[in-house]
Amino acid sequence: MPSSTSNFKGKLGLPRLFFAKPSEIVPRDYERPIPQVPWRGMTVVVVLIVIAAAAAWEFYCRSIGYGPTLNDNEDLWTMTRRRVKPESIIIVGDSRGWFDLDLDELQKGLGKRPVQLAMGGASAYPALADLANDENFHGTIICSVVPYLFFAPPGTPPMQNAEKAVRRSHTQTPAQRASQYLAMPLEEHVAFLKQEELTLDDLLKRLPIPNRPYAQMPPRLPPYFGTLDRERRARMIEECARPGSELQKRIQQIWLPLFTPPPPPSYIPKEVFLAKMKEAIETRFRDVIAGVNKLRARGGKIVFVRLPNSGGLKALEDRDTPRTQTWDPLLKGTAAPGIYYEDFPELSGFNCPEWSHLSAGDSVEFSKRLVPHLRKALEM
Amino acid sequence: MLFNSLTFVVFFIVVVTAYWSIRSWNARKNLLVVASYIFYGAWNPPFAALLFSTTAMDFWLGSRIAKANGRHSRRMWLVGSVCMNLSMLGFFKYGNFLLQNFQWLLAQIGIIYQPPHLDILLPVGISFYTFHSLSYTLDIYRGVLQPTKSLRDFILAVSFFPQLVAGPIVRAGDFLPQLVTAPGLRMGQFLWGLLLMTLGLFEKIVLADTMLSGSADRVFSYAGPLVALDSWLGVMAFAGQIFFDFAGYSICAIGAALCLGFHLKDNFRFPYAAIGFSDFWRRWHISLSTFLRDYLYIPLGGNQVRPVRAAINLVIVMFLGGLWHGAAWTFVVWGLLHGSYLVIERVIRVFFEDARWANNFATKFLAGLATYTAVCIAWVFFRASDFTIATRMLRGMFGGHAHGDAILSGREMLQIGIVTICMILVHWSLRESNIETAVTRLPRWIVTTAWALMACAIILTQGSSNAFIYFQF
C-alpha cells in the first residue's frame, strides 16, 4: 500500500525529482588531508586565550575612560531613516545637530518626537536631497548648518560619509539589516567595540612612525567623547564636559586642523582649484534651493539652525566661513527661516566644553530654549 | 551574507548545530538547500529565483543530453545549456558594456546612437554559480559524469552556500558524489575547518582590509602624478590585497564546507612563489584556470596543435578569462597581458629549458621575482577603473613622474613592506608543500598561538564590513 508521501510524490513531477535518490554517481575518493594534531586540546587553549585577551582588552579600555556605545554607521542611520513617516520632524546635519538637540525637549515643545538623522562629520546636503526626493515625505526638517561641512564639495569626507549612509538606506540587504540588529546589543555592552577608534587599523595609525616630508596624511579625528543610543541621540561623556579635562583640551586641538581646508593639490594650479571650489559651493547653493523648493511644493517645511560653537573653533569658523558668505546667502536663496544662536541672548550664553558641542546637560536646556524659536520659525 | 559579518556567525552556528543534530541524510541535505537559499537571498531575495531557474534548467538539460541519441542531438542540448547560461550572464553582467561598445562602433561610422542605460542590478556571484551549473551539462556531454536523478542534490551542488558566491568554482562532478553517503562528524575535521575559517577571515579582514586596502585605494584614487616608490607600493599593496581577499574567501569556504563534512579542492597554492606564468595559473584561482583549460583550451585544440595555433588558443582563453572578471576593457587587457606572458614564456622555454643554469635556485628565484613583477604590472589594469588611471600608474611605476607626489605615510609603507615580504617568504617556503603539512610539522604551541592571535586580531578589527572583491564578478 503506497504511503501518503509516495502518493504525493506521484502526483507532482517536481517533488519526485526532488526526493529521488541519486544512484548512478560513484563516490570519488577526493578527501582533504586533515592534520593529525590534538585538536580538542588546542581548541580549548585557543578559546581560553581569546576569552582572556578580549576580557583584558575590555578591562583596559574601560580603565582609560571608554564606555559602551553604539557605533554610528550607515546601518544605524538606515534603521533610523526607516522610522521617517510622511509628517515626521527630522533633524539633519552634522554632529552639532546630534549632540545639541535633545529629542525629549523637542518632543515636548513640538508635539512630535523628531527623527535624528544628523551625522558626525557629515554634510547635511545628501540627507536633505534624499528627503526632498522622497515623494512620501511632507514633514518638517530641522537642518543644522556648519558651513565648512554643509558646503563641502563632492568627493570630500563630509559628503562621502553622508552619501554612504543615504546610499545604504536605499540598498541595504536583509543580511546587513540583520547584522545591525545583532551588533547593537553587543555594542551596548562592550566598550572596545568602537569602529572608528579601537579597531586594529586605528591602533596602527597611532604608532609613532615618522613620515616622509610632504606625505599627505588626513587630519586625525577626535577621540571618543560621546555616547549614542538607538535613536541616534548623542550625549557628551562627563570626562569631556569636565572643565579643564585633558580629553577636552586634546579634542580642542584636533578641531583646528580638522576645520582647516587642506592645501590645493600639487597637480592643479591654485587658481584652477579655487575656481573649482567656488563653482562647487555655487552648485551646492543651487541644489539646496532646488531641494527646499521641491519639499515646499509638497507642503513640507524646513528651518536652518546654526548651533553653538566656542573658543578657537568659533574664531576659526567665523574667519574662514563668515556668516555673510554662507548663512545669509543660504537663507536668502532658500527663503527659509533660520535660527542663528548668536542672534538670541537666551541661546548664545552656552559654552561648548570642547569648542564644538554642548554638554549633555546643556543640550537639554538649550533645546528647551530653542523650542519657541522653532515654533515661531515653523509657524506652529 | 558576508563571511565577515555577525549575521553569518549566527547563521553558521545555527546551520551547523541543526545539521549535525539531524540524523536523516535527506533531511540534512534539505536543510543545506534551505540554508543556501537563505544565504543567497539575504542579499537580494528575488535573485534566489534566478538562481533556482538556471539550476533547474541545467538539471533538465543535463538529463536531455544523457538521454539524447546521437552526437548531433547531444550537442544541440548542450548548446541550449551553454546559450542559456551565457545569455543570462551576458544580460546581467555585460548588457550595458555591450550597448556602450555598440554605441562606440556606430559612432565610428558616423551614426549617433544613444542607447538606454539598462538599470540592471548584477546578481551577486552570478559568474560563479553559472559556471558551477554549466560544469554539470558540460561534464555529462563529455561523458565524464552521469546525470543525477535528484533535483535537490543538483540544487545543493550549485548553491552550496560556502562556495556559492565567490568560489571556488566547484564542479558538479566533484560535489555530487559527496552527496551519495552521509559524512560522519569527525572532530579533527570539524576543528580544522574552524581553523581554516579563522585563517581565511584573518587574511581577509586583517591582512587585506586593514593592512593593505587603504594604501591601495589611496594610490589608485589619487588624481595626480605619483613618484615611483608610491606607485609600486600601491600596486604591491593591491597584489597582496587581492590575494588575501580572494584566497581568504576560498579558505573560509573550504573550512565551512569541512565543518559540514564536505571536501572542496584548493583554489590557491602559494601563487606568488610561481616561477613563470603557467606555474602562476596552476596556483592562482585554480578552479577557474582548470575550468577554462578543460572546457575551453583543450576543446580549442590545447597543445596538440601547431605552436602558433596553440599560442592563439592561449590568448583567446586568457582574453575570455579577463572578460569573465568584469565588463570592462581593463579586464580584457589584464587577460591579454597574461595571455602574452604565457606565450612569451613558452618561447623562452623552448630555448632555455634544458640549460643547466636555468634550473639552479638563484635563477628560479629571480624568475619567480620576475613573475611577481610582471603579475603586479598586470594588476594595474585589473585594479584601475579606466585606462587613464592605468596609464598614470604605469608612468609613475617606470619613473615617468620624477617630480610626482609622495602620499603614503611611513606606517603605510611599513605595512605594505612587511606584509608583502612575509607573504612572499611564506609562499616560497611552502611552494612545494601545503598548509596541512605545515600545520602537522610545526610545534603545537606555534599553531595554537597563531590560531589564537589570528582570532584576537579578527576581534580587534571588529568585523570590517567590506565586501569581498570577487563578489562583484
pLDDT at A143 over 50: yes
User: What is the per-residue pLDDT for B126?
Assistant: 85
User: What is the per-residue pLDDT for B357?
Assistant: 79
Active site residue B427: no
User: What is the C-alpha separation between A331 and A329, in angstroms, rounded?
Assistant: 6
Decide: helix, strand or coil at residue A228.
Answer: strand
User: What is the per-residue pLDDT for B463?
Assistant: 64
Backbone CA torsion sign across B31, B33, B34, B36: positive
User: Helix-strand-coil percent breakdown of chain A, rounded to 5?
Assistant: 55, 5, 40
Whose CA is closest to A183, among A194, A197, A173, A172? A194
More confident residue, A220 or A148: A148
End-to-end CA distance of chain B: 16
> How many angstroms separate the CA of residue B105 from the nearest CA in chain A?
33
Closest Cβ–Cβ partner in A36, A193, A266 for B462: A193
Name the phi and psi angles at A306, rounded to 5: -110, 115
User: Which DSSP letter does residue B202 get?
Assistant: I
Closest Cβ–Cβ partner in A36, A195, A216 for B462: A195
**pLDDT 10s digit of each residue in chain B, 473 long?**
888 888 999 999 999 999 999 999 999 999 999 999 999 988 888 889 989 999 999 999 999 999 888 888 999 999 999 999 988 888 888 888 888 888 888 888 888 777 776 666 777 788 888 998 999 999 999 888 889 989 999 999 999 999 887 778 998 888 999 998 899 888 999 999 999 999 999 999 999 999 999 999 999 999 889 999 999 999 999 999 999 999 999 999 999 999 999 999 999 999 999 999 999 999 999 999 999 998 888 888 888 888 888 889 899 999 999 988 888 899 999 999 999 999 999 888 888 777 777 778 888 889 999 999 999 999 999 999 899 999 999 999 998 887 888 889 999 999 999 999 999 999 999 988 889 999 999 999 999 999 999 999 999 988 655 555 555 55
Q: Which residue of A has its CA nearest to B211?
A: A201
User: What is the per-residue pLDDT for A167?
Assistant: 94
User: For chains A and B, what is the number of CB pairs under 8 angstroms?
Assistant: 195
Confidence band, pLDDT 50/70/90 cuts, at residue A8 = very low
> Of B462, B465, B471, B472, which to mutate for an interface test with A (greatest number of A Cβ within 10 Å)?
B462
Number of H helices, E strands in chain B: 19, 0
User: The C-alpha cell of B358 is what?
Assistant: 636555468
Closest Cβ–Cβ partner in B42, B436, B447 for A175: B42
Q: Give the contacts of B230 (CB within 8 A, at least 6 positions apart).
A: B219, B396, B404, B405, B406, B407, B408
- 8 A C-beta contact, residue A43 and residue B194: yes
Question: DSSP strand E in A224-371: where?
Answer: 226-228, 234-236, 301-306, 338-340
User: What is the C-alpha separation between B164 and B378, in angstroms, rounded?
Assistant: 27
What are the pLDDT digits (tens) for A177-207? 999 999 999 999 999 988 878 889 888 988 8
Q: ipTM of this predicted complex?
A: 0.85
User: The C-alpha cell of A350 is what?
Assistant: 552656552
Q: Give the contacts of B59 (CB within 8 A, at least 6 positions apart).
A: A17, B136, B147, B148, B151, B154, B155
User: The C-alpha cell of A162 is what?
Assistant: 553622508
B-contacting residues of A 341-380, CB under 8 Å? Answer: none
Confidence band, pLDDT 50/70/90 cuts, at residue A22 = very low
Q: What is the mean pLDDT of chain A?
A: 88
Residue A306 bridge partners (DSSP):
A340
What are the pLDDT digits (tens) for A323-342? 999 999 999 999 999 999 99
User: Could you give the C-alpha distances from B2 to A42, A174, B41, B47, B169, in angstroms and in order?
Assistant: 27, 11, 12, 16, 18
Amino acid, res. B177: P
pLDDT at A23 over 90: no
User: Could you give the C-alpha distances from A77 to A73, A192, A236, in angstroms and in order?
Assistant: 6, 21, 19
User: What is the C-alpha separation between B199 and B252, in angstroms, rounded?
Assistant: 7
User: What is the per-residue pLDDT for B448?
Assistant: 95
Confidence band, pLDDT 50/70/90 cuts, at residue A2 = very low
Chain B residue numbers with beta carbons less than 8 Å from the beta carbon of A198 are 460, 462
> How many angstroms separate the CA of residue A27 from the nearest CA in chain B?
5
Confidence band, pLDDT 50/70/90 cuts, at residue A11 = very low
More confident residue, B78 or A212: B78
User: Which DSSP letter does residue A89 get?
Assistant: E
User: What is the C-alpha separation between B168 and B156, in angstroms, rounded?
Assistant: 15
- 8 A C-beta contact, residue B260 and residue B32: yes
User: What is the C-alpha separation between B66 and B68, in angstroms, rounded?
Assistant: 6
User: What is the C-alpha separation between A121 and A93, in angstroms, rounded?
Assistant: 9
Closest Cβ–Cβ partner in A32, A50, A182 for B7: A182
Amino acid, res. B2: L
Amino acid, res. B150: S
What is the strand order of the sheet A115-116 is part of?
Answer: A115-116, A89-92, A140-144, A301-306, A338-340
Whose CA is closest to A144, among A119, A167, A115? A119
> How many angstroms separate the CA of residue B283 from the nearest CA in chain A?
17
Ordered by where they begin, the domains of chain A are: 68-204+220-377 (3.40.50)
B-contacting residues of A 23-42, CB under 8 Å? Answer: 23-28, 30-40, 42
Is there a contact between B152 and A195 if contact means CB atoms under 8 Å apart? no
Any chain B CB within 8 A of the CB of A175? yes
User: What is the per-residue pLDDT for A6?
Assistant: 41
User: What is the C-alpha separation between A41 and B373, in angstroms, rounded?
Assistant: 43
User: What is the per-residue pLDDT for B1?
Assistant: 81
Burial of B441 (0-12, 13-18, 19+ CB in 10 A): exposed
> Of B150, B159, B260, which to mutate for an interface test with A (greatest number of A Cβ within 10 Å)?
B150
Residue A340 bridge partners (DSSP):
A306
If phi > 0 it is left, if psi is from -120 to 50 it is alpha, else beta; for residue A344 that is: beta
User: What is the C-alpha separation between A367 and A100, in angstroms, rounded?
Assistant: 7
Chain B residue numbers with beta carbons less than 8 Å from the beta carbon of A186 are 6
- 8 A C-beta contact, residue A119 and residue A94: yes
Q: Which of B325, B338, B401, B427 is labelled catalytic?
A: B325
